[in-house]
Structure 1
Amino acid sequence: MIDYRMSYLINKPYGVGYTIQEIEEITGMTAETIIDQLGKLNEQLQKFSYEPVYWKKAKIYFSKRVSEKWLELHFGKLETEIFYSEHERQALVYLLTFIAEEDLSVYHYQEFLQVSKNTILADIKKLRERLSKKQLNLEYSRKNGFYLTGLEEQIRIQAHQMIANVVTSISGKWGLTKGLMNYSTIFEADVRSYFFETIKANELVIVPSRIEETIYFMSYVLRRAKTYSFRVDQQVDVTLKELNAFSASQQFLRQFPEIVDSEMEQFYFTLIFMTITQGEIRDTALEYLLECASQIIHEMERLAAIEFKAYRKLLLDLFYHLVPAFFRIKYQFSLANVLTEEIKEQYGEIFTLTKTALYPLEMLLGKPIPDEEVGYFTILFGGEIGNQRELNRVIRYKALVLCPSGISSSLIMQSELKELFPTIDFSLTTTVDQLESIAESEYDVIFSSVPLHTPKKTYLVNPIMSQLEKNNLIRCVQEDLLIPGIVVPSIDEIIEILLPYIELKKDVTKEKIYRILNRKMIKKLKVKEDEKPMLSELLTTDMIQLTDKKLEWEEAIAYAAQPLKTQGKITEGYIEAMIQKVKDYGAFIHIGKGIALPHARPEDGVNQLGMSLLKVEEPVLLLDDPKHDITIFICLAAVDNEMHLKALASLTKILSNKENLEKLLAAKDQETIIQLVKEGESL
């Protein structure tokens, strides 16, 4: 995705040359970043057959297309590829009305969403039904066009819910950005820039996952606040003024002097900041929430009949989460996309206990705690209760697991690493391009499948490791982190010591001894069985291909993915995305031993969960590099970060087993591969 700051250039006259220094002043980016972004911009322009950016006499020239097609260039998709779901259409109709500065008609909605008049009329009818349950209305008059009626507070809360629900998809982000660009090509960029400046200047710690929805919500509220103001009662005024976030709100809004009632909006934006800001122990105005956190912990200890050993750490962790939760619940900023039912399923007993233990917060708020919020507290307590079971724990480190696509390879790594290092918290898993959005205070070390430039201690690991690689990693991590000054001998060292004194039986290899010792020495994690499909349910006969054709690596990926496309599980765009990932990030899909795991993100074109396998007779050189010769391509189409985990776990076991791997690489037919898959599931 092109950096949002490049949008400052589309507001400038085209056909005029700019030096790198001038672009630095316009965008606020460094020369190095600008050159990188220009390269990406030209890639997109060439991809869509638009006139590229060009250099002439030390100046850079942009064509009119850069301005006209900015959304396509920014998101890397043609507008004809954007399709809104019914839910997204209704949300965008509401939000367009929310910020309208002109009379809106059905035609305006129809033109914006590129759908028929009947579709818009049906959407408006359903939207009105939804809004009526919130005591809101989408009204229409010939004089004023479409407009919203109801309490301004509720109108804004509904806008927040709409944005939170659609911002998770490319089409949703496209629509949100397009809606703002109807009024200003650089407004969203300004809001983003001022938001990050404010966060940095006021040393606020923001929950990373909430940043996107908050920036869009702020942008839409700022447009609306030019005409409609929010009113806060006087009692709340006093409370908000005491918060550190109030000065942040004042600083932020000084950049937007045109809004109707600056003081009232200062209070409102303070609320917005507080719903996404981690609790700050130095903020004396929040002491009552620190006391509430203490009461909740004691309630949980009583109800669960346990004693939390790391009480102060838990108190701070709970307080950090309690602060934004308190403001979200109190002012109805509901959470979106929370897997509440899944949390109840996995942590049923803890969920019930947590809901009861939150009684002090319920009393403080004077209202019930929504299940979505209870779910987050449940995860926090569930993790801490799990920690209680760990004996002789010296320290618990937080690790960040990184992968270019953040879906399968990172999850394989996460599964492997959890088993190797049960005293390290591997709950934080994300993509490489999201690294900068995560505060360094959130993690201690990084496990990555690609090289990184970071001051944090980083371990470069393959998604699937051999036993020797696991042993070496265990030793390195032990030396660096787990037991300073005391190093437990690695498994290979133990075996090397024993071998001169023992005689190996027939068919017993070092690798086999490694595996047996590893099982004994490493604590096994108990994973609850669920409804996720098994590997054999995904890699069926129609999903497995063998060929003696000589293929280029791009052809091999496309060939391997063909069964998924034939059955409608993926689109052609997903195949292109898998290939592009390799071009962008290198041979990261090579997970070792001649196995490649091509994949991209769900939003790149996955319709249904699936896996397909291609075995080639003649090895394919990934990126034409002899170091990456591939015999088996296994394409993964993941719909989310969960459903394919059981299948990947089985695959990991098969590929980690030397004997099974050799059999797989030597397989001559589909039946042999299927048999190996089934055997692997029982390992």
Structure 2
Amino acid sequence: MKDRTLKILRIFITSDYPVTLEKLEEEFRTSARTIRNELREINQFLSTKAFPEIKNLRKRGYQLTLTAEQKKSLFEQIDLADEEQFLDRDSRIFDLILSFSLEKKATYLYQKEEEYQISKSSLDEDMRRVRNTLAEYGIEVLSVPKQGIVLQGAERSIRTMIYDIINHSVGIVSPQGEQESSINLTILNQYIPQRLLEKLDQLYVQSMASMEDAIYRNQLLMFTAVWLSRYLREDLIASSAWEAVDTPQSDIRDFVTAICEAFKITPPEVEIKYIVFMLNTFNSRDMNNSIEWVQAQLLSIQLMQFVEAKTKIPFSRKEETLQEGLYKHIVGLINRVKSDIQIVNPLKENVKKNYGSIYSAIRRFTPSIEQVTGKQLSEDEIAFLTIHFSTSVSAINQDLHYVYKAVVICNHGVATGKLLSENLKELFDIDVLAVLSSRELELIEKLDVDLVFSTVSIQYTQKPVLELEPIIKEESKKRITSFLNENQKLKRLINNNDSTQLFYALIDIIEKSEGAVTGSIYKEMETLFDQNHLTINKKEIQPMLEDVLQDSHILLNEQVGTWEESIRRVSAPLVEEQVIDPNYVTAMIDSVKEYGPYIVIGKYIALAHARPEDGVNRLGISVATIKDPIEFGNEDNDPVKIIFCLAAIDSYSHLNIMKSLIELINDEVKVDRLSRETDIERFKEILFS
């Protein structure tokens, strides 16, 4: 076939819609008769190769209907399968969006039509889909004379859109180039070169004292590359469009400073504030303010209770470690989702398949999280939460007697590595001493281990290595069993000295005989175990509300005029006894002024609090009932009849107290009885019942 015939065939292969004779006449500047002859020649070729022929659809035009496999085979046979020349519709749309948003020179549609070698009608359909896609982000696509195609919308939305489109089209991109090659990855490299990601990764390593999990880190670097590319195009955030808090010195700020120096740029302060804030949303450990702190605390406890109730799995057996992991994750999640950033989870489908009941339970709880974020959670984020629970499932079921010592190598993140670690412990006699990344292989020699399990291919010969998927499937169990049998000589017998369960058993005996376990008894028990060299997990030994709330910290029927006065009044006993410093009171009031009445956590109940570092000396709580209920400005839960003041010293020691308050939130009758009580003893009896 001659060149024109091949070009006409290409148009029909790439078009999902009928092509009219008039369009072909116009495009190839020839007569209808000539085009019909070309079509007959093409159909003869298709017939000899056993492909469907081009059909004449009355009043609609001509169309060639092929499956994806047929298209691929046909391109191979006519020697037009060069990936750099031919793009399917999804890849063309991806290229168009990146071209409009990241290309440094103007983009014109006629150039793209020639580049893709498709008809104008096909490109028109591509553009219709581009416009529909970008409209979901609040972005318009405009054609401007001498400027080509331009995007109109908030710069912050455009940057988020680019990042989101890359994640959905390519997935997580590794700065080390570890992902499989694809057409869309090739397209991405034209606009965000691999060498740019490598440079940003080097600056990140040099700037950060501690580094994020690989899943978070790689996506943080991609978002940074998007920001830098837009800035270098001089697409900037308007000064009035972004009001972020000041950006004090931090690892992230150092990273941004290093980028500015390396690329010799001096962004305005509004850009610095923007990118530092956005990169902090990828930090699962960061707790920016007290509003996120209390929301994450409440949500993590409520989520754990909800999932336990729905799945009947006793997650409370691993309550401390699970709640702390959830709490830190949810803090980052709230930040990300509010900023339109949701992390891609490469293990999502495996998680849904292997831990479906937990995933389903978390999904049913997500409306409670979405009330806080104001936006819908993606399946990827739900899968991340599921990983925390599934890790605890393995820990709950595992036999604590191990005879192999091993290390896990995983680049998918700490939570995923821990999941594999706990599965190995549960299913086999394996004690996993550490979870490392492939960059930390030199640390293996410093650990007393005999075996290495890795989720990535590694070059390591000093000890036996078995490569596995992060989630152990049935076929993997046989490989692990065979691997262990091959290395039976490495078996060890070790003793487990964790006596936490013994501690709880003794507490149960005391409660049955004496009726109550006070804080002093807890302390005496801890001392006794220490003296006898018995190890307990002291993070799991948490005081109850009745252990912490003292009579002198209960104020009844208080007369106050404003919500500020109610906070000062309820916190007064804690200040007087130096449980908190005066500046803690100021921090609580300032936080409400800045973020609104978020401390009104339930009907008629407020929980005043600030961050531990704002002036907490030891764990404490106080409560006041208000004679004339106070309006905080919370339409759903005002007026406040009872206000608590919580002084927490860390993220776990007050968990039982928080659980008691959550129970109170769900019991309006109890709240009403407490608000009308005038006797401290009866108040305690109602509260602790």
TM class by shorter chain equals 0.3 to 0.5
Scaled by the length of structure 2, the TM-score of the pair is 0.46
Scaled by the length of structure 1, the TM-score of the pair is 0.46
Which is greater in Rg? 2
